[in-house]
Amino acid sequence: MAFKKLREIRDRFEQQWINGGFIFGYENEINENHNNDYPLLVALPPISELPETEGGSKEDYTFECLIVKPYFQNQTGSLDVVFSLLEQEALTWLQRVLDSYPNKEVILSPNSISVEREKELYNDKLIQVRLTFTLNAFSHHFSHYDDISITNLSPRVWLRSDLGVKTQMFGGNEVVKRWKDQSGNSNDFVQTTSTKQPSYEYEDTTNGYPYVSFDGTDDFLQCVNGGISEDGRGISHDHTIFIVPKVEQDAVSGYILTKDGSSSNLPRFVIESRNTGSFNALNSTYSDDDTDVAQAVGTDDLSDTAVYAIKFHNKEVKVFRNGTQVYHDSANHFDSFDNYDNTRAMVMGASELGLNKFLAFKMQEMIVFNDDLSEEQITKVSTYLKHKYNI
């Protein structure tokens, strides 16, 4: 066995699994620790022998991987839906492993992937996807998923309801304790207080994707990092935010996303829903009368799912709905600044202190780019999200 190469592949497996716990070992280890971080990936040692080098003749070798998580019998959503999400996490992980070889591409041997679903395992009522695949020793290509178009734009935050949502059972509901950032920048959104954790809901009708549901009373999530930019400072002055909300028509007035939303003497932005069903986005340097503000207020009815893009640039704010610009405002007296500071976290579902402005709404996806994307790029991302969520 080429142990050096096996260690390298094992390390790459673990590095690319960002959604939960990881074990490189054997199946009987799954139930030994009841405090596992789920979803749990168990990568079994390969069946065939690894080649000593990448050159020369090609050799197939097979890995078997188990992706495991609890299934709560009284949670919403069919078992088939939950299985499909777990299977997607498995295939996304495999894609990341193959993409992580920048100087050489990897090919899966033809018809090499098999997926098996198993339920009610061990003592913890776990469900499991058994993923078996055969790699041909580092030769050619592997097809990319559509979301590579998003990755190429270098998002700073990427929250997907179908991937990386860490949950637990509380009060008879499945609730969200951590929403894992899929951008690779570890800008996760978290809530440690069980009573303030939004619920995780499944659906089988509109588009088949789950969503994170905030109750409008005390639920909110906040980013673990104040400075989400490359240099550790706060989000830059020029940025573009995409959200796919499932907002209730009768939602009360409240904040969808905010940065320094109630802070004194700090630059801030606020994206909110109003009790009239309208949509509001503003950026400003804080003052009591909001004199230094660029604000876009629309009359769009938020009862239907749509892709919204909010672009903050220089002294203006623009809002796009399904790729088309619908609102725009600017403020010539708006104070210039480099970034939104890193003192406080970005918050979803409430003010930046998590004290008020709670909103009853459902979120399916959010992407934050630390740049003012072009209209062509906004259209491209919006088209991707519209297609994904059947909008």
Give one DSSP letter per residue of 8-58, joined into a string.
Answer: HHHHHHHHH--SSEEEES-GGGGGG-TT--SSEEEEPPPSSPPPSSSSSS-
Q: Are 244 and 307 in contact (CB under 8 A)?
A: yes
Which sign, positive or negative, has the C-alpha torsion 192, 194, 196, 198? positive
What is the pLDDT at residue 181? Answer: 94
Q: Do domains 3-136 and 148-388 have the same CATH topology?
A: no
Over its C-alpha atoms, the chain yields an Rg (Å, rounded) of 22
Produce one character per residue of 27-64: b if its CB has 16 or more CB atoms within 10 Å, e if not: beebeeeeebebbbbbbbebeeebbeeeeeeeeebebb
Q: Domain 3-136: which CATH class? A: alpha beta
3-state secondary structure of 281: strand
What is the pLDDT at residue 139? Answer: 40
What is the pLDDT at residue 74? Answer: 53
Report domain extents, the chain: 3-136, 148-388
In order of 229, 261, 339, the CA distances from 344 in angstroms are 14, 10, 13
3-state secondary structure of 379: helix
Of 289, 232, 290, 234, nearest to 258 by C-alpha is: 234
pTM exceeding 0.75: yes
CATH topology of domain 148-388: Jelly Rolls (2.60.120)
Tens-level pLDDT at each residue, the chain (391 residues)? 345 667 778 888 999 998 889 999 888 878 766 678 889 999 998 876 555 544 445 556 688 899 998 887 655 667 888 888 898 899 889 888 887 776 555 555 556 667 777 776 656 678 888 888 876 554 433 334 467 788 888 899 999 998 899 998 888 888 999 999 999 888 999 999 999 999 999 876 677 789 999 998 999 999 998 767 665 666 777 789 999 987 665 556 788 888 876 655 666 778 887 765 566 776 665 454 455 555 655 555 555 678 999 888 877 788 898 999 988 877 665 555 566 667 778 899 998 777 888 888 889 999 999 888 999 999 999 999 998 888 8
In order of 85, 107, 131, 363, the CA distances from 2 in angstroms are 34, 20, 23, 46
